[in-house]
Structure 1
Amino acid sequence: MTWNRETVHEKLIEVFGQYKQTDAAVSQESQIVADLGIDSLGVMEVLADIEDTFKLTIPDDALRDINTIADVAAAILTRLEGDGRLEG
């Protein structure tokens, strides 16, 4: 499947919405831990879901600088673009 920036962002909002532990609205600016209350175990579950959804592997070193959903989107977009699966 090919993705575009909009569909990646929409899918991430959907996925993180399933795992959030607070009543906060989910947006690109949402802090994964502070706003959504997702702990380290939850992050691993989200990561597995994201990898399955986008059919890719996110290396552990790419996770160091990820704090927001926008950070996750940027990492995914980079991987999809490198794989030739990003339109537009």
Structure 2
Amino acid sequence: MYAGGRVLLHSRRGTDMTASFPEIRAAALTQLPADTGIDGELVVWERDRLAFERLQQRLARRGAAAAQAAQEWPAHFVTLDVGPV
């Protein structure tokens, strides 16, 4: 996820999702030491439930649209494994 000052969020299939989730990127930069790898899941909550459709909608947004979506439907990262890159 975070190596050499660069954050990369990617799907199981290798799709780069970093631009769609600026709040996750910012959190990684401020809270993780360099060269940290994290395996986990992105989730979005809406009205006390997981909202997979909101997560899918977020994937298509970049730039200002991604920042706006982060305000409306913030994503959270559920960590399953942590280790060095």
> Would the TM-score normalized by the shorter structure come out above 0.5?
no
Higher strand share: 2
TM-score (norm 2): 0.27
Higher helix share: 1
